[in-house]
A = this chain, B = another copy of it.
Amino acid sequence: MEAKSPKRMTKQRRIILEELRKLTSHPTADELYEIVRERLPRVSLGTVYRNLEVLSESGEILKLESAGSQKRFDGNPMDHHHVRCMGCGRVGDVEVVGDATLPALENFRCDGFSITRGTLEFTGLCDACKDKLDEEGAMPEAATQTRQ
């Protein structure tokens, strides 16, 4: 279901891929656009979107559609787990430590669906958002919204 190489390696595609791979931050398309723009000042946001699409189809990167309202991208295409900050939408990598192992996929039952990937997304809070909540103390009203 994946891993066909992209057709042409243009300068833009190569640089987009290089910059994404340098990051562990799972950037959104426009965050990456800003970064790529330092090396390719005339690149367009549309090109970034198109290439991220192509690269994720070919399995070179991961498209994290399940990351809130904005899509995020991961330069590491290996299967691994993620946490998503419920405050700001940021995504981090999660590793399983100690002797813990996840139950096999057969242990999860869901009618009408077949689970194809055992990669999980946890819900959490990043340090920045946690600090913000702590400061706000008995936070005035709706301080728990999702922005980005």
A67 contacts B by Cβ under 8 Å: yes
A52 contacts B by Cβ under 8 Å: no
Contact of A83 among B81, B95, B107, B113 (CB under 8 A): B113
A57 contacts B by Cβ under 8 Å: yes
Chain B residues with Cβ under 8 A from A92's Cβ?
110-113
Chain B residues with Cβ under 8 A from A84's Cβ?
65-66
Docked-complex contact B68 and A65, CB < 8 angstroms: yes
Docked-complex contact B127 and A123, CB < 8 angstroms: no
Docked-complex contact B127 and A108, CB < 8 angstroms: no
Report the minimal beta-carbon distance from A105 to chain B, rounded to whole angstroms: 8
Report the minimal beta-carbon distance from A52 to chain B, rounded to whole angstroms: 13
Q: Which residue of B lies closest to A81 (CB)?
A: B108
Given contacts A2-B144, A92-B112, 17 further A-B contacts (CB under 8 A): A1-B144, A57-B144, A65-B146, A66-B66, A66-B68, A92-B110, A96-B107, A96-B109, A100-B104, A100-B107, A102-B102, A112-B126, A112-B127, A114-B125, A114-B127, A115-B122, A119-B122
- 30 CB-based A-B contacts, threshold 8 Å: A1-B133, A2-B144, A57-B142, A65-B68, A65-B69, A65-B86, A66-B66, A66-B84, A66-B121, A69-B71, A83-B113, A86-B116, A92-B113, A94-B109, A94-B110, A94-B115, A95-B109, A96-B103, A97-B109, A100-B103, A100-B107, A102-B102, A110-B122, A112-B127, A113-B125, A114-B130, A116-B124, A116-B125, A119-B123, A121-B121
